[in-house]
Each structure stands twice: as C-alpha cells, then as structure tokens.
Copies of this chain bind each other. A is one copy, B any other.
Amino acid sequence: MENMFWVGFVGCILAGIFAYTQKKKVMSYSEGTEKMQKIAASIRAGANAYLRQQYTTVAKVFVVVFIILLIMAFATGGQMLSKFTPFAFLTGGTWSMLAGFIGMKIATNANARTAQAASESLNKGLRVAFSSGSVMGFTVVGLGMLDVSIWFHLLRYGFGISDPNQLGNIMVMNGMGASFMALFARVGGGIYTKAADVGADLVGKVEAGIPEDDPRNPATIADNVGDNVGDVAGMGADLYESYVGSILATFALAAAAGYGFKGMVLPVLLAVCGIVCSIVGSFFVKTKEDATQKSLLTSLRTGTYLAAVLSAIAAAPLTYFTVGTLGVYIAILCGLVGGTAIGYFTEYYTSDTYKPTQKLAASSETGSATVIIGGLSLGMKSTMASILIVAAGVIISFYAAGGASDFNQGLYGIGIAAVGMLSTLGITLATDAYGPVADNAGGIAEMAGLPEEVRDRTDALDSLGNTTAATGKGFAIGSASLTALALLVSYVNIVDAKIGNMDLSLTNPTVLVGLFIGAMLTFVFSAFTMSAVQVAAESIVVEVRRQFKEIAGIMEGKADPDYASCVGLCTKGALHEMVAPALLAIIVPIATGLILGAEGVVGLLGGVSVTGFAMAVFMSNAGGAWDNAKKYIESGHHGGKGSPCHKAAVVGDTVGDPFKDTSGPSLNILIKLCSTVSIVFSGLVLTFNLMGLL
C-alpha cells in the first residue's frame, strides 16, 4: 500500500463534493425578512472588508519572509534551505487563508438563514448552522489533503526525490506558511472579535444596561462581524494548520523510524478514512422537530462519536497493511481517545451543568474580584486533566509503538497519535464552527426584532455551540501538544544529521536557558495578545460612550447608531496590534538560535510547548467558565440578569474574552510555529551562532 498516496486526492475530492452539497443546502434557505437581510449584508460587508485588509497586511509580511527564504535557499545553492521551501511557504499560507476565507464566506451567508430557519423549528435551525459548519470542516480537511498530496507528488515524482528521509525533511518545512498565516488569522481575528465584544459589553451591558446584541449598541454589528473573522476565519486557518502540521510532522518521523513511505502513507490513509467517516457521521446529525436542547446535543454527539468509532475500526486494517504493527494502532487509538477525553474535561470545567462553573457563578455573590480569582484558579486547576491525558497519551503511544526497543519508532507513535486525534476533524470542526453561526443567528434575531421564541431557539443553539466549541478546543490543544513534540524531534533529527550529536540533556545550561526563554515567550506572547485586545477595546469603549452621549435619541431607538465607525475602529485596531505578537513568534526562535545555537533552540521548543500548552488550557478554560457562569446567572440563578451578581459575572466574562478567543487559541499555533520556524531556519542558525564561537 505504500504507493497509495493518490488516495489523498480522492479524500480531497470527497471532502470538496460534500462541502459543496452542504453549501447548496445552506443557500437553499431563505435569508428572512428585509431587515434580516440588511443586517446580514452589513455583517458580510464588514467581515469581507476586514479580511481583505488583513490579507493585504499579511501579504506584505509574507513577501518579506518569502524573499528572505528565497535568498537563503538560492544564494547558498540549497545548502542552507531547500529550494522548495520558499514556495511551500507561500502555498501553505495561501491554503490556510483560503480555509478560513471559505469558512467565513459560508458562515456570513448562513447566519440570517439560521435565524430564519429557527423561526420555523429548532431542528431546521440546527441543520442550517451545522451544514454551514460542515462546509468549513470539510473545506479545511480537503484543502489540507490537497496541499499534502500535491507537494508529495511534485517532490517524489516531479523532482524525483525518492529518499523518504530527504522528502520528509523537506515536507516538514511546508508547515511554516500555514502556521504563520494561522497565527495572523487567529491573533488578528481574535483581537477584532474581542475588542468589539468587550467594548460592546462594557458600555452596553454594564454601563447602559441594555441587552446583548441590542440594535441601539453601536458596536453590535462589529461584534457580529468579529464572530465571523475571529471564531470562524481564525479557527479555520488554525485547524488547517493543525491538520497539515500533524501529518507533515509524522512524515518526517516516518523516515527516521525506518518505516519509509509506508510510514508516510499511513497518516494520509488515516486522514482520508477520517474524511469518509466524518461524512457518514454527518448524516446522523438530525433531530426531531420537537427537539430539546439535550436531544440536540445527543444528535451532534452521535455524529462525532460515530465518526470516531468508524475511524478507529478502519484504522486497524490500514495500520496492518502499512507499517504492520499493533503498537502503532494503539497509538492511533490513544489519539482518538485522548482528544475525546480532553474534550470531556474541557466541558466539565466550562459547562454550567457541572460543579466548577456553578461554583464560579456562586463566587459572584462576593463581587467581581472573587469571580476573577475563582476563574483564574479554575482555569489553572483544569490544566491537570488535559496534561495528565496528554502525558499518558505520549507515554503509551511511545512505548506501544516500540519505544523501548526502537526509540524512533516510539516517536513515530507520538506523531501518529496526533494524526489519529485529528483524523475526524471534518465533523469535529463542523460542530465547532457551527457555534459562531448560531451565535450570530441569535444576534440577528435580536436586532431584527424576531419573536421571543425564535430568540429562545437560537439561544439554545448557541448554548450548545459553547459545549461543542469546548470539545473542539480539546482536539485543537491536545493535537497541538503532540504535534509540537513530533516537530521538536524532527528538528533534532534534522540538526543531528548536520552537526552530529548535541547535548540535549536537561543538565546542560544552554538547554535550560532555552527552556526559560520558551516559558518567557509564552508569557510575553500572551501579554501582547491580551493587551492588544485591551488597547483595541478601549478605543471601542470610548467610541460607544461618545455615540451614546452625542447621538440624540439613540437610547430611545429613534436614531440609528453609527455602526460603521466601530467596524472601522476594530479593523484598524486588530491589524495594528496583530503584527507584534506574530513577529515575536518568528524572531524569538531565530534570535535564540543565533545566540544559543541549536541546543538552546531545542530548549526553547520544549519550554514553549510545555508552558504554552498549560497556558492555553488555563486561558481557554478560564474564559469558557466565566462565559458560562455569566450565562448561568442570566438564566435566573443568583439574582439573574441585572443583579449585582450578574454585573460581577460580566466582569469575569469580559476578562475571559481575550483569554478564550485570542490568547488561548493563539498559543496552540505559537508552539507549532516556533518549531517550524526553527526547522526552516536551522541552516542559518547552524552557520552563524554565538555559542559556536565559545
């Protein structure tokens, strides 16, 4: 089966066809009343305008990096860098961008349609929103397969590279473009969405006391645009990067493990099999017309679990006919189970049906400070489950795949576990991307003044989205940590091949200092992304306050607020603030390499993987719990909406916004970007570094 790489194209075509049918289905629904259409059009326009400007900004950075890579590759005759890398950098970036763009395009078309469908029945609302999520999910996996397959065939058959080791090492560098684009999309989109959200909440909800998504709030359109550019386009680019990254890292490890092309075809087959199983699972996502929220969740779960179980079954023959060891199969199962387990604990810590979030809500009784302390400590505590799961996954995958007798085969096990975890991404991402669409549908229902019962239905859909988003994040974070470890090992293999054995022991001060710098990068990067949100949000707060004060009749609904000014401010703020953290992620690994050499870089990668993982879990879960604690209070506990407890909980939710939607998810990308940047620039670092002079 080792020549069945063409199956990748089949997977890509299947994903494409399925995404297309889902798109057709979404578009077949009506966008509702004229008012709804108008609102949807404004959101679409705002989102498009932002993405256009974002891509323009990113394109400039990409051109600069492309030229640097070109010089490194061609001026040194391919010595310092493979000549393919600069071009792979561009394709990776473009595909990642496309994944986000298409997802957002369909989401902005689906939101009003979901609201309209929900006015007919809950089930219809679910179907539209889920179909829209499916378009994104299958676009991401389809494009991912396309990228991997094209480059593999081009290199192997076009350029005749038949050494699996060489091929793997070239391909692993292809991840950098996708990671870099994903970071911009996540950070930029994350800043946008949270600046708008925080700004709208602080003045609207807290100061003026008007409900969320109230049309009188000038930041409300920007808030809805933000859901699309951040939670949809950002997430699409992010998971595209995770998906491709895990496959490419496993490619590189396959050669080192001595599995050759057999070890490379396995992740491709697994991924294609996951696409098929996801499509099958999708057909099971439906519910009765008189669905309750619980039956909705059951229906979504049925789809994802079915896909996972089918994948698990199908993985057995695939493994048997390729690398042929039971241990690798166990590693794949570890990935599938681990992702689900992290998802479960994420939900446990962030859903208001469990104790932790309920206790957090109760801490609002003593004011906003205790809500903040409670949320921070909840988030920190929640790292335990995720880390122990990943730790167990790493150890079991490694030893099951043969780590005790062959170290490199064990490491391959870790890589393939990450691929296993992401194999059903088509459907898990669909359930994840469904959330922001439902959220927006609610916003449109509110703004368009649809009846209470419609809003109730979209609320039910939205609340479900929070749960599924938690599960989606579990997969994203878990796979990121495994992929990061796989990439770290790839880096070491590549450098080892060039300069011989390094001292990577933890007693080596250079490695230790690298670890410190990795931890530092995590904290500083989080600081940058958070303060970016703050800076952008403050400008929105000032603007909303100004409009409330200066536009006569705005509070009585007699005069329209100036939505466009908030949209413009968010765009400006996000673009301005996203560049620094993104550059940090590129500059720190290179600078560390130039000063401390490769040993320091390995330390850095270890430090950023470990601290970044813990921090990502902490921030995502704290943010999620704050959000749901607030919703729990809004649903009538501790005094309900407008009570002092609610005000305290809103402060928590506001702090949680950048946590869960900007800084937290960006960290997943950061840890992989650091690895791919280090791999791509390893030639440079080995040629020039300060430690080499000692």
Q: Are B367 and A523 closer than 8 Å at their CB atoms?
A: no
In whole angstroms, how far apart are the Cα atoms of A366 and B198 in the complex? 10
Q: Are A506 and B602 closer than 8 Å at their CB atoms?
A: yes
Within 8 Å CB of A370, what residues of B? Answer: 198, 202, 534, 537-538, 541
Q: Are B489 and A534 closer than 8 Å at their CB atoms?
A: no
Q: Are A513 and B368 closer than 8 Å at their CB atoms?
A: no
Q: Are B489 and A507 closer than 8 Å at their CB atoms?
A: yes
Q: Are B607 and A198 closer than 8 Å at their CB atoms?
A: no
Interface residues on chain A, size class? 35 or more
Q: Are B509 and A410 closer than 8 Å at their CB atoms?
A: yes
Choice from B506, B523, B609 contacting A383 with Cβ under 8 Å: B523
Choice from B372, B519, B658 contacting A651 with Cβ under 8 Å: B372
Interface centre among A372, A506, A522 (most CB of B within 10 A): A506
Interface positions, chain A 193-237, Cβ under 8 Å from B, are 198, 202, 206-207
Choice from B374, B411, B523, B528 contacting A534 with Cβ under 8 Å: B374
Interface positions, chain A 484-506, Cβ under 8 Å from B, are 485, 488-489, 492, 504-506
Q: Are B520 and A388 closer than 8 Å at their CB atoms?
A: yes
In whole angstroms, how far apart are the Cα atoms of A368 and B653 in the complex? 12
Indicate how many identical chains form the complex.
Answer: 2
Write out, one digit per residue, whether chain A residues 8-39 have a CB within 8 A of any chain B CB (1) or not (0). 00000000000000000000000000000000
In whole angstroms, how far apart are the Cα atoms of A367 and B653 in the complex? 13
A685 within 8 A of B: no
Q: Are B694 and A530 closer than 8 Å at their CB atoms?
A: no
Given contacts A372-B655, A505-B504, A606-B506, contact A519 B614 (CB under 8 A): yes
Within 8 Å CB of A198, what residues of B? Answer: 369-370
Write out, one digit per residue, whether chain A residues 162-205 have a CB within 8 A of any chain B CB (1) or not (0). 00000000000000000000000000000000000010001000
A517 within 8 A of B: yes
A4 within 8 A of B: no
Q: Are A518 and B610 closer than 8 Å at their CB atoms?
A: yes
Q: Are B517 and A511 closer than 8 Å at their CB atoms?
A: no
Q: Are B488 and A507 closer than 8 Å at their CB atoms?
A: yes
In whole angstroms, how far apart are the Cα atoms of A524 and B387 in the complex? 11
A380 within 8 A of B: yes
Q: Are A485 and B509 closer than 8 Å at their CB atoms?
A: yes
Q: Are B366 and A520 closer than 8 Å at their CB atoms?
A: no
In whole angstroms, how far apart are the Cα atoms of A391 and B414 in the complex? 31
Q: Are B366 and A507 closer than 8 Å at their CB atoms?
A: no
Interface positions, chain A 521-571, Cβ under 8 Å from B, are 522-524, 526-528, 530-531, 533-534, 537-538, 541-542
Q: Are A527 and B367 closer than 8 Å at their CB atoms?
A: no
Within 8 Å CB of A49, what residues of B? Answer: none
User: A279-287, A396-404, A673-681: which one contacts chain B?
Assistant: A396-404
Q: Are A530 and B485 closer than 8 Å at their CB atoms?
A: no
Q: Are B398 and A367 closer than 8 Å at their CB atoms?
A: no
Q: Are B516 and A391 closer than 8 Å at their CB atoms?
A: yes
A61 within 8 A of B: no
A583 within 8 A of B: no
**Chain B residue nearest to A198 in the complex (CB):** B369
In whole angstroms, how far apart are the Cα atoms of A373 and B387 in the complex? 25
What are 24 residue pairs bridging A and B, where the CB atoms are less than 8 Å apart in the complex?
A366-B537, A370-B534, A372-B655, A373-B534, A373-B658, A377-B528, A381-B527, A388-B517, A391-B516, A395-B510, A404-B694, A414-B509, A481-B516, A492-B507, A506-B603, A506-B606, A512-B606, A512-B609, A515-B610, A519-B614, A522-B614, A607-B610, A611-B611, A611-B614
Q: A202-B367, A363-B534 are in contact. List 16 more A-B contacts (CB 8 A).
A: A366-B541, A369-B650, A370-B534, A373-B658, A376-B655, A381-B527, A388-B520, A391-B513, A411-B509, A485-B512, A505-B505, A506-B602, A516-B614, A519-B610, A522-B614, A651-B651
